[in-house]
Chains A and B, each alone.
Chain A
């Protein structure tokens, strides 16, 4: 539609065909694949760190009132800070572009993971804990065998959120930072006035974001919720 109106020259709004060609070429010459590999490496490292760090923070804040009152409220306020804001600080701390971007990605996912884990632990059905205690479970086994598995639905939700936030943080970080990621490629496209490249990468980013969310996390969430009895069984 917009294209047909011919309001802007091709330079600003390339035809869908050009964009499709750019996409195909990008994969054929391997430049997109390479950029994807670079970005995913950062994403996976940052996401993994966010999941572990967030889980630890979540457990801590859910287990101790003092931690909840201090760290817990800090996390709440930090969550409203876009994680890209951390990049200047990260660049100062790490000097290196790569570590700084991974740091921003980690920060992006950590807070929502922590909050989900904490609310998961706090919302474990009391009756399950009581049942477990009458069957001789207490202390650490009670925690690892009942409380943690009982909070798995929240954990999955936390991971889904963490992935989405990490992904956004990664793109923001790559636009500003250095390296050969998808975000950086987008910036080159801008620098060289190659709008079809810019659009092709934007499409790639959108597709990857929704595909991972729908194919991995949503499915995982539905499977877990069903087994945990929080979703009605599909006709069976």
Chain B
């Protein structure tokens, strides 16, 4: 169980305070696939980084199975948007990087790493270097590198955000397979409504300025998910309505005060992305 209790985060930059997150409360039971969805800049990454232990909350606490999060730990591994692989290591050695710290023998480490890489269909690329791989393949390595640590929670920060549509669809499918097989708790950050709906058991919709939870939605649809599932399409529209208000708010602040958006002219791309922020 992951518990986020009254967490707030304020960054201080050039002696100005920026309140990024305000009073976040969230309990995530084991085995849940939960998405944080919101416009870019609303603090999704910040929240995920705090769960990872890479950032500290300004207020409130985060616990995992009752234990306070005080720093990074191998029970919570992150998959970042830019695969963040070590370019000087082969694919296999990248996956061994964290594993070899866990005190396994060398052969055991290699074996486990190759098995996990097989799971993401990269058996042929064990000795390749990251620069020789496509973006999608790199992200597979990053997923394998996280999975191999057998973390309690898998943290994913827009892992497919930089991929082309084809690759993204494929990896979404594979991630669902992995989820169904391992039943890991997955905290998934995205600004893509369709992606959140397609993958999650539960979606936390975040508003902006300051970032706060505006909706906690359950996705009731059979797995493996189908793209044309009417439940999903219904939910997608519902979330769009919720977020329209938020986005209009941001647009009003950033643009002229009299800026309004009519629903028909709403600037969704076909994929219903909330802008291409990182």
Contact = CB atoms under 8 A, between A and B. Distances in A.
Interface residues of A, number: 24
A141 B86 CA distance: 14
Contacts of B194: none
A132 B97 contact: yes
B101 A229 contact: no
B82 A136 contact: no
A130 B54 contact: yes
Interface string B56-94: 000000000000000111101110101010111000000
Contact of A229 (B49, B52, B87): B87
Contacts of B80: 127, 130-131
B203 interface: no
Nearest to B151: A134
Nearest to B99: A135
Contact of A135 (B53, B82, B149): B149
B87 A135 contact: no
A49 interface: no
9 contacts: A127-B84, A130-B54, A130-B84, A134-B53, A134-B76, A135-B149, A136-B73, A145-B97, A146-B86
Contacts of B136: none
Interface in A102-160: 125, 127-128, 130-138, 141, 145-146, 149-150, 152
Given A134-B53, A136-B73, 14 more contacts: A125-B84, A127-B80, A127-B84, A130-B84, A131-B84, A133-B54, A134-B73, A135-B97, A136-B149, A137-B97, A141-B101, A150-B86, A152-B88, A226-B131
B125 interface: no
B78 A233 contact: no
Contacts of B101: 135-137, 141
Interface in A200-236: 226-229, 233, 236
A156 to B, nearest CB: 12
A227 B54 contact: no
A227 B88 contact: yes
B131 A233 contact: yes
Given A134-B76, A135-B145, A149 B84 contact: no
In order of increasing CB-CB distance, the 10 nearest A-B pairs are: A135-B98, A131-B84, A133-B72, A136-B74, A127-B84, A229-B131, A228-B87, A136-B101, A149-B88, A134-B78
Interface of A: 125, 127-128, 130-138, 141, 145-146, 149-150, 152, 226-229, 233, 236
B132 interface: yes
B179 interface: no
A146 B94 CA distance: 11
B102 interface: yes
Contact of B102 (A136, A138, A149, A236): A136
B161 interface: no
B207 interface: no
Contacts of B159: none
B164 to A, nearest CB: 18
Contacts of B129: 227
